[in-house]
């Protein structure tokens, strides 16, 4: 609008004292208005100026001669390193010294970090993270340091955890150092199979195997990894064997194992100190059987105190449908019941969110929308009621993806559902998502590669072999290759990028047949393949992944509740079975938790 036009408007709508009085009489309070786009557009303009090398007042030069232009006031506002440089040392960095050498940082990384200061955005990749993290530490950019640490934590595996640990130690990044050590401890059985473990020093091996909270179900594995480490370079490592064996709790290994595998081990037979450890362990078993003498309390007799437990939701065989909570310790194979932690209804499933929130879902028509939550971080264990799901349904599938809970399919009476909904913990509400193509009661639900899978189920008088896959980014379901066997209520487990459909019921209107067969789905091949059968038929078993194994817990064989656990080892492609002391209880849910220290004696 031109000045002339403004004058015209001014004459058309004159301002009078009466109008001023009208505004005053409204009683409107002074109001602050905030333009939410102001800060973003402000920095966008500054970034454009910097890219075009306009109005800048500082140049940052790297050792390879690359110049990055910037504005001192922007750097000072966002970066403690530059704030210290430009405010406390202003005499050294004035107008005549406006080129500053940043020799410790690669030019590409410096460019990324300056872009971040102006935009608030940073892309972390496998290729740049190992350079980006030290640079962020150097420049004291805590946000970038944090996302780099988070990125590396997600990249941890048995082949790189030692390197990442050493990297974190060198740069004094304690959070990453702790995470890498925790990973080595938690994935001990797989880590000791790597070349990285064999490259450890004697002191590093001792530091690892002496930990009371190391995640190892059998003490025999500690002994075997020590022998393997010594044999890798026996000429220079043999003298370290006694120091290592001092931290092997040999008394916790079965007596048969000691007699068969330890006594005749050449490295042990030829070492007097190690032979003493073997004799001590055998004596422990003899005394333990006779129960006449109390052995002295030493570390070699003490079980390792791992915090990993299976949280089981169980219901007694009375048929009253009242569930309570138990802990199963996979290391000691003991079941600890806490019947005071009652839920008040029969369950459909348990799921774990954010590593400490356990959600329990009802499976009874009268309570089919009921949900309870247990916070493992609270000082007392109490189930509390939470937001009900949107649709009355039972016999539905439940899965967790990106800390969101999905309820899939189900039924009420003879009405089967293909609808699904999702619960967002952050906003505490349920919302509908796209419906499946097929109505499914008792589907198995698994999560693999950021996708949700609905596997099998029951519909119109027969079990299903069809499978659908949900992509939350597209809100769409896609049909996948069918299983070779129809399965109602299969257990679903995911391990090492493979999804397993375990057991279930091959049911139709005429008959019901429990299954011991198992199928495995590989996303790359997009086909199902069979693996060896379990020992028993298991309908509706609960499946958890732990320490590189699949644990298939409970279920029923058509008429009897099963009181056993079957464990699948993908390396040997074999199943083993262990008793589960349930006394006839039905297992309705299972999740793996790292029990907080304040609850480990609960």
pLDDT at site 267 = 94
CA dihedral 380, 383, 387, 389 (to 10 degrees): 150
Phi, psi of 256 (to 5 degrees): -65, -40
Q: Is the pLDDT of residue 77 over 70?
A: yes
Residues 6+ apart with CB under 8 A from 315: 321, 322, 323, 324, 346, 347, 585, 586, 588
| Rounded distance between C-alpha atoms, residue 314 and residue 319, angstroms | 12
Which region among 113-127, 223-237, 367-381, 537-551 has the lowest average model confidence (pLDDT)? 367-381
d(CA 308, CA 216): 10
Q: Which of 229, 241, 235 is nearest to 269 (CA)?
A: 241
94 φ/ψ angles, rounded to the nearest 5 degrees: -105, -160
- Mean pLDDT within 97-115: 80
Phi, psi of 207 (to 5 degrees): -60, -35
pLDDT surpasses 80 at 27: no
Backbone φ and ψ of 261, nearest 5°? -110, -25
Predicted confidence (pLDDT) at residue 63 exceeds the cutoff of 90: no
3-class DSSP state for residue 173?
A: coil
Which helix (DSSP H) or strand (DSSP E) does residue 407 occupy? strand 404-408
- Phi first, then psi, for residue 402 (nearest 5°) are 55, 45
Higher pLDDT, 95 or 98: 98
What integer best gives the mean pLDDT of the chain?
Answer: 82
- Please state, in angstroms and rounded to a whole number, the distance separating the CA atoms of residues 151 and 126: 9
pLDDT in tens, 322-374: 677 888 888 777 787 765 566 666 666 889 988 788 898 876 655 667 788 88
Location of structure tokens 């049911």: 507
Weakest-pLDDT range from 270-279, 368-377, 408-417:
368-377
CB 533 within 8 A of CB 500: no
CB atoms within 10 A of CB 47: 16
Confidence of residue 485 (pLDDT cuts 50, 70, 90): very high
Q: Which of 443, 433, 436, 424 is nearest to 472 (CA)?
A: 433
Model confidence pLDDT, tens digit, residues 365-394: 556 677 888 888 776 677 888 888 999 888
Closest CA to 153 of 119, 195, 181, 194: 181
């Amino acid at each position: 609008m031109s000045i002339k036009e403004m004058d015209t408007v001014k004459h058309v709508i004159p301002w009078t004292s009466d109008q001023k009085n009208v505004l005053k009489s409204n009683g409107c309070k002074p109001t602050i208005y905030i333009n939410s786009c102001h800060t973003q557009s402000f920095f966008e303009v500054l970034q454009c100026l910097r890219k075009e090398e306009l109005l800048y007042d500082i140049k940052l030069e790297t050792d390879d001669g690359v110049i990055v232009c910037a504005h001192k006031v922007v750097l000072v506002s966002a970066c403690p390193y530059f704030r210290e440089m430009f405010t406390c040392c202003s005499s050294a960095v004035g107008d005549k010294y406006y080129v500053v050498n940043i020799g410790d940082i690669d030019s590409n990384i410096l460019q990324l970090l300056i872009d971040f200061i102006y935009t608030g955005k940073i892309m972390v990749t496998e290729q740049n993270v190992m350079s980006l993290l030290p640079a962020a530490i150097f420049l004291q950019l805590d946000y970038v340091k944090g996302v780099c640490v988070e990125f590396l934590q997600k990249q941890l595996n048995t082949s790189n955890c030692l390197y990442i640990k050493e990297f974190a130690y060198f740069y004094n990044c304690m959070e990453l150092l702790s995470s890498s050590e925790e990973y080595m401890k938690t994935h001990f059985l797989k880590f000791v199979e790597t070349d990285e473990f064999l490259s450890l020093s004697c002191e590093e091996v001792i530091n690892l195997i002496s930990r009371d909270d190391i995640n190892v179900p059998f003490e025999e594995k500690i002994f075997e990894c020590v022998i393997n480490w010594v044999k890798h370079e026996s000429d220079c490592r043999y003298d370290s064997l006694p120091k290592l064996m001092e931290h092997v709790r040999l008394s916790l290994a079965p007596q048969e194992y000691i007699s068969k595998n330890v006594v005749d081990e050449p490295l042990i037979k030829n070492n007097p100190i190690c032979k003493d450890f073997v004799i001590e362990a055998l004596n422990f078993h003899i005394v333990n059987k006779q129960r006449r003498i109390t052995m002295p309390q030493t570390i070699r007799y003490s079980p390792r105190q791992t915090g990993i437990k299976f949280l089981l939701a169980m219901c007694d065989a009375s048929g009253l449908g009242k569930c309570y909570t138990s802990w199963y310790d996979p290391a000691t194979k003991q079941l600890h019941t806490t019947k005071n932690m009652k839920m008040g209804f029969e369950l459909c499933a348990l799921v774990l969110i954010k590593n400490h929130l356990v959600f329990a879902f009802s499976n009874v028509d009268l309570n089919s929308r009921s949900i309870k939550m247990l916070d493992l971080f609270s000082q007392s264990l109490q189930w509390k009621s939470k937001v009900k799901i949107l649709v009355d349904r039972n016999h539905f599938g439940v899965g967790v993806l990106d800390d969101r809970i999905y309820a899939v399919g189900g039924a009420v009476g003879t009405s089967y559902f293909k609808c699904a909904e999702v619960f967002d913990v952050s906003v505490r509400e349920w919302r509908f998502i796209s419906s499946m193509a097929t109505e499914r009661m008792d589907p198995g639900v698994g999560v693999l590669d950021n996708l949700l899978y609905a596997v099998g189920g029951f519909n119109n008088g027969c079990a299903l072999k069809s499978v659908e896959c949900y992509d939350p980014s597209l809100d769409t379901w896609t049909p996948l290759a069918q299983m070779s066997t129809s399965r109602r209520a299969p257990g679903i487990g995911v391990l090492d990028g493979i999804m397993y459909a375990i057991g279930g019921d091959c049911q139709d209107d005429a008959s019901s047949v429990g299954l011991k067969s198992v199928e495995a789905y590989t996303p790359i091949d997009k086909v199902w393949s069979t693996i060896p059968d379990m020992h028993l038929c298991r309908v509706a078993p609960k499946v958890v992944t732990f320490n590189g194994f699949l644990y298939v817990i409970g279920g029923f064989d058509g008429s009897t509740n099963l009181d056993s656990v079957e464990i699948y080892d993908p390396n040997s492609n074999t199943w083993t079975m262990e008793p589960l002391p349930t006394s006839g209880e039905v297992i309705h849910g299972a999740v793996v938790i790292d029990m907080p220290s304040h609850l480990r004696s609960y």
